[in-house]
Amino acid sequence: MSHDDFLSAGDLSRDELVDLFRLAREMKDDRKKYMDSRKGMTLAMLFEKPSLRTRVTFHTGIIQLGGAGIFLGPSDINLGKRESVFDVAKNLERMVDIIMIRTFAHSICTDMAEYAGIPVINGLTDLEHPCQTLADYFTMWEIQGELDGRRLTFVGDGNNVAHSLLLMGARLGVNVTVATPEGYEPDPAIVEAARKDAGKSGAEIRVLHDPQEAVDGAHAVYTDVWASMGQEEEAEERKARFLPYQVNEALMGRAAPDAIFLHCLPAHRGEEVTDEVIDSEQSVVFQEAENRLHVQKALIYELTQDYG
């Protein structure tokens, strides 16, 4: 893999993704093998939004590779207010080896990558959540094998997670369907980019409004919160609008019999997903969450080949 940064789910080719999955699998199977392969490396973790999984898996991952993580929360840097993105990048590139950033506008993440002469990883922006979908497709690959021709359906808001699922799925040859209420469709530019890639991989990309039709025959059913971080004020209004898009037993019943249920978490149980579904045999949400650790270790390892 010859990339400086990982900012978008569309950054990696199909072959690079499959190679990364193989490395993640190796790391998962034998944690000791890569222990200390990045001894002394430091990872700055910039968070402008809350996190459980991203923070813990990045921090644990860098420790398992022999390095150390430095957590910087919203009040530590106060990005763009206390100090510009440019100045933060120019400081950090002289102090640490790699940066992970979770922020609001995607442009903050791409600016950081442009200004910092060290690898930058997108740990979630308003536009994308590519580390999440690395773990999602890795989980699907682990459980269901070859991804080419599989069907994944995302039901809910056309948000950052949906965007990254579309872009990465198109690369991998996965037929991705997104079903949203009218007015909550994914960004047309992302859909177009995914369709362009799908033209090469043979995947089919669909954006629908009917959740039942969308889930019919799916091998993986995915949902996420109806109001993302930063949209808290819209949460109440969205609840009524999104109720027909709840993933419950009736909706899951339309998927393939061996379909898995995925959710990036945190989940709002009783809203976008019922307890019956998230706690069912088909649900692999905690395996999916654990896999953040393995794929991100593989990603850090690949992005820092020059280290040492």
Binding site for ligand NVA (CB under 6 A): 124, 129, 159-161, 224-225, 228-229, 264
Residue number with CB closer to ligand CP (48 or 197): 48
Starting at the earlier edge strand, list the strands of the sheet with 42-47.
68-72, 42-47, 98-102, 120-122
Residue 269 falls in the annotated catalytic set? no
Q: Of 129, 150, 163, 294, which residue is the catalytic one?
A: 129
Contacts of 267 (CB under 8 A, 6+ apart): 225, 273, 278, 285
Minimal distance, residue 231 CB to ligand NVA, in Å: 8
How many CB atoms are located within 10 Å of the residue 37 CB?
Answer: 18
Gap between the Cα atoms of 103 and 109, Å rounded: 7
Chain length of the chain: 308
Burial class (CB in 10 A: 0-12, 13-18, 19+), 308: exposed
Residue number with CB closer to ligand NVA (154 or 301): 154
Minimal distance, residue 52 CB to ligand NVA, in Å: 9
Residue number with CB closer to ligand CP (92 or 264): 264
Minimal distance, residue 193 CB to ligand CP, in Å: 22
Question: Which residues are at the interface with ligand CP (CB under 6 A)?
Answer: 51-54, 124, 132, 264-266
Residue number with CB closer to ligand NVA (38 or 55): 55
Minimal distance, residue 262 CB to ligand CP, in Å: 11
Gap between the Cα atoms of 240 and 256, Å rounded: 28
Residue 4 falls in the annotated catalytic set? no
Q: Of 53, 59, 102, 106, which residue is the catalytic one?
A: 102
Question: Between vectors from CA 149 to CA 146 and to CA 152, what angle results, nearest 5°?
Answer: 95
Residue 225 binding: pick among ligand NVA, ligand CP, none (C-beta 5-8 Å cut-off by kind): ligand NVA
Residue number with CB closer to ligand CP (65 or 124): 124
Minimal distance, residue 53 CB to ligand CP, in Å: 4
Minimal distance, residue 153 CB to ligand NVA, in Å: 17
Residue 130, CA distances (Å) to 40, 218, 224, 234, 291 in order: 26, 22, 14, 24, 13
Residue 96, CA distances (Å) to 40, 125, 299, 306 in order: 10, 22, 17, 14
Gap between the Cα atoms of 299 and 114, Å rounded: 19
Residue 131 falls in the annotated catalytic set? no
Residue 102 falls in the annotated catalytic set? yes
Residue 129 falls in the annotated catalytic set? yes
Q: Of 106, 292, 294, 296, which residue is the catalytic one?
A: 292
DSSP of 244-298: GG-B-HHHHTTS-TT-EEEE-S---BTTTB-HHHHTSTTB-HHHHHHHHHHHHHH
Q: Of 111, 171, 264, 294, which residue is the catalytic one?
A: 264
Residue 228 binding: pick among ligand NVA, ligand CP, none (C-beta 5-8 Å cut-off by kind): ligand NVA
Residue 52 binding: pick among ligand CP, ligand NVA, none (C-beta 5-8 Å cut-off by kind): ligand CP
Residue number with CB closer to ligand NVA (262 or 264): 264
Residue 132 falls in the annotated catalytic set? yes
Task: Please identify every residue annotated as catalytic.
Answer: 102, 129, 132, 224, 264, 292
